[in-house]
Amino acid sequence: MVGKVFAGLLLALAAGTGRAESVEDETAKWLAVIRAIKPEGEEAATKRYNEQLDGAWKFFAANKSRVLPILRRELSNELRQRSPNQLLLLDVGYYVRLQEGRADKNLGRKAFFAIDPGTKIVRWNQREFFEFAHSVVADRDPRTLAFLDKAFLRGDVKAFIPQHALSLDETLVCVFLYGEFGDGAEKHLASQIIDRSIADRIIEVLIWIGSPDSVPAVKRAMMESRNYDTFVRATAFMMTVGGPRGRDAMLAVPIQTFDAKSRQYYAEVRRDIEATTYVALQKQFEGFPGPGGMSDTDIKNALSVMYRNYGKDDKTSPRAILASGLPKTYLTTELSRVRSRMFFRVSDEALGDVKVTNALLNALYYRNR
């Protein structure tokens, strides 16, 4: 993968182990290794690449107090280059970003926005690129949504999260990133749905992070394509998070103008669409544990705790929230805020919590008050 240059660097490192070299010199050598790595070769080359990166980061971690100032300096210098090394921006930038200090957070964020997502070395490191993005999105930097559009919405980034044995496809990568961004992401995505090349993926993301506000945009995409793939996605959106506006849009769709596969699918689901009411949606939660009734004050406190705990809650039953005397506008606003916090947790458990929250939100949209 890295050829003679890489082999020479390894020999230099091996020779250096017997000498009392400074941390500065050792760090420089490891950074040279990182700079020399090229995204080439077969599985064996990839294995060597990963082993050498592990070696670099073990050394950096073992000498963190002395290495970190050097990494900050080198990263700052790299950012001033006309063509910065992309792996150094990715690896060192993410490491600096993970530190606690505000200055490190800012420097890491600066490195993130300097990354070119189209380069092969970045595509080779999709998981780290996703994790780096996930660490930056919460800052709500004004550049974030445009960068996510370029790198992820229009890209094909996948990620495997080993600690949760969770495989994220291109859509779920976007779900976590746009979902974590929170307020403003839905409107931003809906405004781009006119682009047929990304319309289906946008609808897939909106199924997770959307609301009735996006019903007009999704309906427009459905009517402009009139094909099965978009129609199925649009139906899922309308009935998952679209509320009564979504149901009404589906019942009014001129299905005779769609393709045969869409017409067949619509015939299969129309009865379920017609039967969607607040009472029917309430029944989804009958088996949930916890008290079915709580005071309005307790509900408010529970929602506040959920928000602080990134959506984690094993005490509050959705039935109690539905039975609450609090206005549905208040409840849907607070639950939407809680939902965005769930995307901070990159796990299958978080996705399960989002599904329950969306079902609860959709039921509340049907509630009269």
Domain residue ranges in the chain? 3-124, 191-276, 283-366
CA atoms of 171 and 200, how far apart (whole Å): 10
C-beta of residue 145 within 8 angstroms of C-beta of residue 181: yes
Beta bridge partners of 168: 159
Asked whether the whole model's pTM tops 0.85, one would answer: yes
pLDDT digits (tens, 9 = 90+) for 229-238: 999 999 999 9
Dihedral angle over CA of 344, 350, 355, 360, nearest 10? -70
Beta bridge partners of 161: 166
**Structure-token match 């969607």, residue found:** 276
Query: Which tokens is 142 given?
Result: 């004004």
Per-residue tens of pLDDT for the chain, all 369 residues = 334 333 334 434 444 443 447 999 999 999 999 999 888 766 676 777 778 888 888 999 999 999 999 999 999 999 999 999 999 999 999 999 999 999 999 999 999 999 999 999 999 999 999 999 999 999 999 999 999 999 999 999 999 999 889 999 999 999 999 999 999 999 999 999 999 999 999 999 999 999 999 999 999 999 999 999 999 999 999 999 999 999 999 999 999 999 999 999 999 999 999 999 999 999 999 988 888 889 999 999 999 999 999 999 989 999 999 999 999 999 999 999 999 999 999 999 999 999 999 999 999 999 998
Find the helix or strand (DSSP H, E) in which 167 lies: strand 166-168
C-beta of residue 178 within 8 angstroms of C-beta of residue 189: yes
C-beta of residue 135 within 8 angstroms of C-beta of residue 94: yes
CA atoms of 86 and 132, how far apart (whole Å): 13
Show the DSSP H helices in 20-160 as ranges.
Answer: 23-36, 43-62, 64-79, 86-97, 102-114, 120-124, 126-137, 144-148
CA atoms of 46 and 228, how far apart (whole Å): 40
Report the SS3 class of residue 313.
Answer: coil
C-beta of residue 137 within 8 angstroms of C-beta of residue 144: yes
pLDDT digits (tens, 9 = 90+) for 77-110: 999 999 999 999 999 999 999 999 999 999 999 9
Q: Which of 323, 353, 319 is nearest to 338 (CA)?
A: 353
**Structure-token match 């700052």, residue found:** 76
Query: Which tokens is 262 given?
Result: 């869409």
